[in-house]
Amino acid sequence: MVASIALPRLMRIGAGASRLLPEILGQLGLSRPFVVTDPYLVSSGRTDTLLERLASAGARGTIFSETVPDPTVASVEAALAALKAGDFDCVVGFGGGSPMDTAKAVAVLARHGGHMRDYKAPRLQDEPGLPIVAIPTTAGTGSEATRFTIVTDETSDEKMLCIGLAYLPVAALVDYELTLTKPKRLSADTGIDALTHAIEAYVSRKSNLFSDGLALQAMRLIAPNLRRVWTDPSDRAAREAMMLGATQAGIAFSNASVALVHGMSRPIGAHFHVAHGLSNAMLLPVVTAFSAPAAVARYAACARAM
Ligand SMILES: [Fe+2]
């Protein structure tokens, strides 16, 4: 079997990695970023800091912060209108899964046109859109390293999965210091999401030796540190482990697959508006009980890793 692997071209991982955005944009020959973020990151002053850093490096950034949790077609169209009103050469997704997924969607729509529904799987969108740089502020989605985005069609309550290399960020800045202020509830939900990515990538029929190594390492990092970040949000070592684990789990499932938990989690989230990690948490025990007999050795390896 030949494994097909796709990764961000540049990654910076560790404390302060997000401060390297101007340098990374320079390496990529980019200077006019459209920064997609959320209202919390604006109110916390983090976006001002980011813009100041860009300006001091001669880059001109513009902030779009009207993203919503679980991005909708309407919220993506609002972002697209703002992008089209300016002159940008790349999109930066700065935030949790929702800003990053919105950034991915507008990067493709801006270059290829059409409507979000046109891009729904099984369509494969490999032809690149605008370059995407991802800066996650949660340890969960792994979206900074995946070739997926998910947008909800609010008219039908459908979470549309969109797949292709066009959604894979060209660069990812993985800075655990951005997660130190994450509320407990968000730490729990996003952490379970990351753990589920790792387990599902490992038990997937599409797993391969490359994804296996990252999935197991992600489980080793996430399992002992999830409760630690919930108990003490300022535990830097645990935050660092969670962030690295979430990114590794993202790479693992982007190059293998997720499985039944995510397949069922999407419709539950769309219909009942349950946080993605929480619906994963509800499903993981029952899906594991259902699936384990068909892949005993694989689930046993997960248990040993955790
Ligand atoms: Fe997920």
The CA-based dihedral angle spanning residues 283, 287, 289, 291, taken in that order and rounded to the nearest 10 degrees? -170
Does residue 269 sit in the same domain as residue 128?
no
Are 166 and 208 in a shared domain?
no
C-alpha 57 to ligand 1 mean position (Å): 35
148 and 212 assigned to the same domain? no
Residue 273 and residue 136 share a domain: no
Is the pLDDT at 271 greater than 90? The verdict is no
CATH label of the domain that carries residue 277:
1.20.1090.10
Pair (157, 232) in one structural domain = no
Instruction: Give the residue from 149, 178, 207 where a domain finishes.
Output: 178
Let me know whether 215 and 100 are in one domain. Answer: no
Q: How far is the CA of 147 from the centre of ligand 1 (A)?
A: 13
In the predicted structure, residue 295 carries a pLDDT above the cut 90: yes
In-domain check, residue 237 = yes
Distances (CA, A) of 104 to 149, 184, 220, 264, 266: 7, 27, 29, 23, 18
**Same structural domain, 21 and 119:** yes
Task: Say what the pLDDT of residue 244 is.
Answer: 98
147 shares a domain with 24: yes
166 and 187 co-located in one domain: no
Q: How far is the CA of 170 from the centre of ligand 1 (A)?
A: 21
Which of 125, 144, 178 finishes a domain? 178
Residues with CB under 5 A from ligand 1 (ion): 193
Residue 273 has pLDDT above 90, yes or no: no
Q: List the CATH number of the domain containing 128.
A: 3.40.50.1970
| Nearest Cα residue to 153 out of 105, 101, 117, 124 | 117
Ligand 1 centroid to residue 194 C-alpha, Å: 7
What would the pLDDT profile of 136-189 be if each residue is shown by its tens digit?
999 999 999 999 999 999 999 899 999 999 999 999 999 999 999 999 999 999
Residues 169 and 264 in one domain: no
Average per-residue pLDDT in the chain?
96
Kindly provide the residue ranges of all beta strands, DSSP E only, lying in the chain, ordered along the sequence. Answer: 10-13, 33-36, 62-64, 90-95, 132-136, 148-153, 158-163, 171-174
